[in-house]
Chain A
Amino acid sequence: MLDLKSLAVGYRSAGGPLLSDIEVSAVAGDFICILGRNGSGKSTLMRTIAGLQPSLDGVARLGGEDVASMRPATRARRIAVMLTERAFNPGLRVEDVVALARQPFTGWEGRLGDGDRAAIADAVAVMGIEPFRRRYFNSLSDGERQRVMVARALAQTPRLMILDEITAFLDLPSRVEIMALLRSQAKEKGQVILLSSHDLDLSLQLADSVWLLDGAGGFSVGAPDALSRSGAVGRAFDTDGIRFSPSQGRFEVSTSGPA
């Protein structure tokens, strides 16, 4: 359903692409984790696939259609994003935030129909945010906000969900819960979910497929097991102080490195 064809992403002014010649496909129901260190181009890649910034070369196709040349209104019905940019606003209630996700589907007034209300109710129930539905978005804790923003993305009923570091403010049980939940949503609704994360362990356990950015322009794709056994994970993340152990499937603090 999602096809990237010789895609190159980055900023034209910043001297050359961050990533280039990306060739990868995903089918409906795929839960994909994008892994890489800070600055490796995760956010840029995700923004490009979402149609929020132009690609430097190649195309991203969703259901055969070039995302970059879709009408904005059409794209908004098919792709939902959640970004690291913090959304806040005075006077906006949780239910307002979730309801905004239905804007691509409503008329000029933005009045919600039965289908819109059902999608909102479903997203609210899935994320368990009913108890603070009437509260002001600004008054929530970081973890609660993340849940609301995920619910907002779900309520948009997209074919493709692009979620950038959404588990950053959550404790471990909540991270596991939300990632497992998103995985089952992808299967159930036939969506493609692209999620970037610094949670290596969790991502390697839950993802159907991993897109690994090594920080030097290298891009490898594969099943989590295959990538960790091949040493690709280690090449992307190892430093003097920490080393990925393919046999253990986790990081070890290196004893030979500097303290």
Chain B
Amino acid sequence: MRTRVTTSSAALIAALAGLSLLTLTYGQIALPLADTLGALTGTQSSDLARQIVLEIRLPRVVAAIIAGGALGMAGVLMQALFRNPVADAWSLGLLAGGQFGVALTVTAAAFAGPAAVSFLTVFEGPSITLAAAAGVAVAAVFMLALGRRVGAITLLVIGLMLGFTSQGLTSVLLHFAARAGGRVYGGWQDASFAAIAPASLPWLLAPIVIGAAAAVATAKPLSSLLLGETYARSLGVKVTSLRHAVLAATVLLVAPVVAFCGPVSFIGLIAPHFARALAGTARILPLLPLAALGGALLAVAGDAIVHAPWEQHFLHLNNILAILGAPVVILILIFSPAVRQWR
């Protein structure tokens, strides 16, 4: 199994590197591969190529890799914690909850006055991330409490409905807030990896690194939760503190993605399924790197399609992810034995 994880990881890394390079090369302006590599390594290259690659395309690709990886890992955690094969931060409404948290904060600032708005604008990275984290955490705690009462599919439907509700509330809130407030945050409608400023990349990365470390640390006890709560307790796991730790890890992984990239759909739901198929096991630890790499690959692929040199305006990321992801979810719902047993 170790070899399966290693070879799968190597293959995913190679695919990710290849696809990233392709995304850096192609776009509205196609660059020769040599120029792209030259710009990346800092050797001979035109100023224009360097500007396009390093300042426009690279931050986007890096954001896609970080966010996709975070969503993939969070998906593994959520599916194990909820014991639900269709759980993920997007499908259970955590991302929408995060957006609503941001909307509340922005609206509050808009009503508090220009000083508050400019404070938000100056400390955009941390303040938006914190607001998103609060929203994600509230949604997660609510769904976890609900998850103990209803079946997997019911929870999925409720999660999606909760998502619609928060999105509706968010747009109503922003209608009443000053326009200036709304502009602080770009990710209201669609997800995008292009909106992040290069200077904000560390704000995206730092919480995710801590969240990933927490995910790895909880991997072993979380594996025993796969057999159910009582078996986990009989194996010496303190289930309540485990739940809190996994929730904290999920919030750390997901909140920065909401804050900087918006509600990225489907990646966290399907990456864990690819990881399980590749690893041949449901144990958590081997799934984490595979789901991270798979999520990153999906994110870069979606971004590559969005930013391909189309004639007209850009496509929307979530629409592309829906085309890639929704059929997979339909197949899971029809064929997954776990889902059938929940019915």
Q: Which of A15-23, A92-100, A182-190 contacts B (4 or more CB under 8 A)?
A: A92-100
Question: Nearest-CB distance from B288 to chain A (Å)?
Answer: 12
Known: A88-B338, A88-B341, A90-B337. A52 touches B285 (CB 8 A): no
Contacts of B217 in A (CB 8 A): 108
Whether B338 lies near A89 (C-beta < 8 A) is yes
Interface residue tally of chain B, by bracket? 20 to 34
Docked pose: A191 CA to B263 CA in angstroms: 54
Chain B positions within 8 Å of A92 at CB level: 226-227, 281-282
Contact A110 B338 (CB under 8 A): no
A110, B220: Cβ atoms closer than 8 Å: yes
Which of A4-12, A78-86, A193-201, A209-217 touches B?
Answer: A78-86
With contacts A72-B233, A138-B338 taken as known, whether A91 is within 8 angstroms of B276 at the C-beta atoms is: yes
Please give the distance in Å from B237's CB to the nearest CB on chain A.
7
Query: B231 to chain A: which residues have CB within 8 Å?
Result: 81, 83, 85, 87, 100
Q: Does B18 contact A (CB under 8 A)?
A: no
| Inter-chain contacts of A71 with B (CB < 8 A) | 236
Q: With A and B bound together, what is the CA distance between A85 and B83 in angstroms?
A: 15
Shortest B276–chain A CB gap in Å is 4
Q: Which residues of A contact B234 (CB under 8 A)?
A: 50, 52, 76, 79-81
Is B336 an interface position by the 8 A CB rule?
Answer: yes
B235 close to chain A: CB less than 8 A: yes
The size class of the interface chain A forms with chain B is 35 or more
Distance A82 CA – B89 CA, assembled complex (angstroms) = 33
Interchain CB contact (< 8 A) of A52 among B224, B230, B281: B230
Q: Cβ of A100 and Cβ of B223 under 8 Å apart?
A: yes
A73 at interface by CB-CB < 8 Å: yes
Residues of A within 8 A of B221 (CB): 103
Please, which residues of chain A bring their CB within 8 A of the CB of B224? 100, 103
Q: How long is the Cα–Cα vector from A80 to B236 in the complex, in angstroms?
A: 10
CB neighbours (8 Å) of B336 from chain A are: 90
CB <8 Å contact, B283 and A83: no
In the assembly, what is the distance between CA of A90 and CA of B217, in Å? Answer: 22
Interface assignment of B280: CB less than 8 Å from any CB of chain A:
yes
User: B238: CB under 8 A from chain A?
Assistant: yes
- Please report the C-alpha to C-alpha distance between residue A51 and residue B341 in the assembled complex, in whole angstroms: 30
Complex alpha-carbon distance, A101 and B276, angstroms: 21
Interface presence of A171 (CB below 8 A): no
Is A174 at the interface (CB under 8 A from chain B)? Answer: no
Residue B228 at the chain A interface, CB threshold 8 Å: yes
B281 contacts A83, C-beta separation under 8 Å = no
Contact between chains at B238 and A72 (CB < 8 Å): yes
Query: Is the CB of A139 closer than 8 A to any CB of chain B?
Result: yes
Residue of A nearest to B217 (CB): A108
Chain B stretch 209-234: residues in CB contact (< 8 A) with chain A = 217, 219-221, 223-224, 226-228, 230-231, 233-234
A93, B228: Cβ atoms under 8 Å? no
**Contact of B85 with A90 in the complex, beta carbons under 8 Å:** yes
Measured between alpha carbons, how far is A138 from B276 in the docked complex, in Å?
A: 15
Q: How far is the CB of A78 from chain B (nearest CB, A)?
A: 10
Contact A100 B227 (CB under 8 A): yes
A58 within 8 A of B: no
User: A76 to B236, Cβ gap below 8 A?
Assistant: yes
B220 pairs with A87, CB closer than 8 A: no
Interface residues of A in 97-154 (CB under 8 A from B): 97, 100-101, 103-104, 106, 108-110, 136, 138-139
Query: When the two chains form their complex, are residues B228 and A110 in contact, meaning their CB atoms are under 8 A apart?
Result: no
Residues 257-290 of chain B: 1 if any A CB is under 8 Å from the residue's CB, otherwise 0?
Answer: 0000000000000000000100011110100000
Return 9 A-B CB contacts under 8 Å, by A number.
A74-B236, A81-B234, A83-B231, A87-B231, A89-B83, A89-B227, A103-B220, A104-B235, A109-B220
Q: For the complex of A and B, list the 3 residue pairs with the smallest distance between their C-beta atoms, beginning with the closest.
A: A76-B236, A90-B338, A91-B282
Please name 19 further chain A to chain B contacts, defined as beta carbons within 8 Å, in addition to the given A89-B282, A89-B338, A106-B220, sorted by A numbering.
A52-B230, A52-B233, A71-B236, A72-B238, A75-B236, A79-B234, A80-B234, A85-B228, A87-B231, A90-B282, A92-B226, A96-B281, A96-B283, A97-B227, A100-B231, A101-B235, A103-B223, A103-B237, A108-B220
